[in-house]
Structure 1
Amino acid sequence: MIEIMSGHWVKAFEGAPKRSVKGGTVLFHRGDLVKHAYFVKEGRVRLQRPLEEGGLLTLHTAAIGELVAEASLFAERYHCDALVGDQTEMAVLPRQALIKKLVDRTSDASLAMEALASTARDLQALRARVEIMRLRRVSDRLDAYLDLHGTPVRGEWASVADWIGVSPPALYRELAKRR
């Protein structure tokens, strides 16, 4: 098992059926009923919302060891679309089964605490992202991102552009200025 997957969601999804999904597949659409919970074992799933002017806002990218749209556990309908990146493997549980595992007295009590801690970390990361996206200049957004996350690996700059809310060409222009 991959090191990053050693957390609480692994425990929650033990024995869950696995599903392999081709890249480009839409896992669910905004407005669909929330019936299942998805845990990423390999690959990525982007949570996106279409914008009025035709673009897409990426709200989150669920990577290895993460639950896809964890806030949906407490919603009736999805608030965004989920698009599978490259070939992705995930574990799938009915939403109610996962909730039962989290609150059932017979389950591991540390599971709920780990889930709460993870949610708190996610909330902190989201707040940081909102603050970064409020910055007006691309250079300021990039500096803030680099302070938080460091330099991305080769081939991941387009993801950085998406994360800080600018187009890849705008980010590449800023990177060119810095060279």
Structure 2
Amino acid sequence: MATGDTMQLVHQALRENSLFARLDAADLERVVQMASVRELAEGEALFHEGDLVEHTHVVADGLLRVYQVGPKGSRQLVLHMAGPPESIGEIAVLSERQHYPVTAEAALPSRVVRVPREGILQLMEERPRFTRALLRSVAERQFELLLLLRRVAFFEVQSRLAQYLLEQHATLGPGFPLPTNPELAALLGTVPEIVSRTLSRFYKQGWIRLEDRRVWLENEVTLIAVAKG
């Protein structure tokens, strides 16, 4: 990619991100000059749990999976799926701990804008509006984690799946894409076999229609009842 195209990609990603959009033109240009772009193939890690925290990342295109691995290394708990123009790594930058607490990898071919940790900390000292935006982003991510914990602790898998389908339908509309069963299992805190059986049951009951990993809700009233447990 040419340098001019790279700069344009960085500008666009930062302008659309809720953290950096609040910067004035001069400060945004400072960030652009210190930023870099990393291209990721599907399945390639942006960083691993335990890696040294060096950047905050903004997804320019593609999709990243943010997760932790279980003690035996056989299961993943997906904490967030990040697409454009979301940022990743804000919490790690703010923490006094020097290592990422999660792994982030590309669920699709992706490009990510990387902003050095030192630049973020300097902006926080100089620009209160930026600091407030960063704290809002961290608070929203914490709220998402609390919702995930609540679902896993208090709802059966079929309720969690119904909740997910209803949310995706509300956000993306009819015919929304469905992740692979392993990805969906990780999002719901279960295993692929149970996801497969539950999806099959929803389909056979006539509650959903599935075509090429796309979903239409055929009985939204029943799904709402199932989602409530």
Q: How much identity, in percent, do the aligned residues show?
A: 22
Q: Deviations over 1:11-66 (max 9, x none)?
A: 56751222222222222222221122211111122223222342222222222122
Please give the alpha-carbon distance, in whole angstroms, between the structure 2 residues aligned to 1:129 and 1:19.
Answer: 29
Alignment correspondent of 2:48: 29
For structure 1, the residue ranges without an aligned partner over 5 or more in a row are: none
Q: How far 1:136 sits from its partner (Å)? A: 5.1
Opposite residue 63 of structure 1, the aligned amino acid is: G
1:21 touches 1:88 (CA, 8 Å); kept in 2? yes
Larger Cα-atom Rg:
2
Please tell me whether residue 177 in structure 1 is matched to residue 201 in structure 2. Answer: yes
Aligned residue among 191, 194, 214 for 1:167: 191
Opposite residue 52 of structure 1, the aligned amino acid is: P
Count of residue pairs the alignment pairs up = 174
Higher relative contact order (CA 8 A, sep 6+): 1
Please give the alpha-carbon distance, in whole angstroms, between the structure 1 residues aligned to 2:21 and 2:61.
Answer: 13
Alignment correspondent of 1:88: 110
Q: Deviations over 1:64-90 (max 9, x none)?
A: 122223211123111222222222111
Please give the alpha-carbon distance, in whole angstroms, between the structure 2 residues aligned to 1:56 and 1:162.
Answer: 6
For structure 2, the residue ranges without an aligned partner over 5 or more in a row are: 1-11, 207-229
Aligned residue among 1, 8, 25 for 2:19: 8
Partner SS, residue 32 of structure 1: coil
- The answer to which structure has the higher helix fraction is 2
Please give the alpha-carbon distance, in whole angstroms, between the structure 1 residues aligned to 2:179 and 2:199.
Answer: 13
Partner SS, residue 24 of structure 1: coil
How large is the Cα RMSD of the aligned pairs?
A: 2.6
> Structure 2-normalised TM-score?
0.65
2:63 touches 2:81 (CA, 8 Å); kept in 1? yes
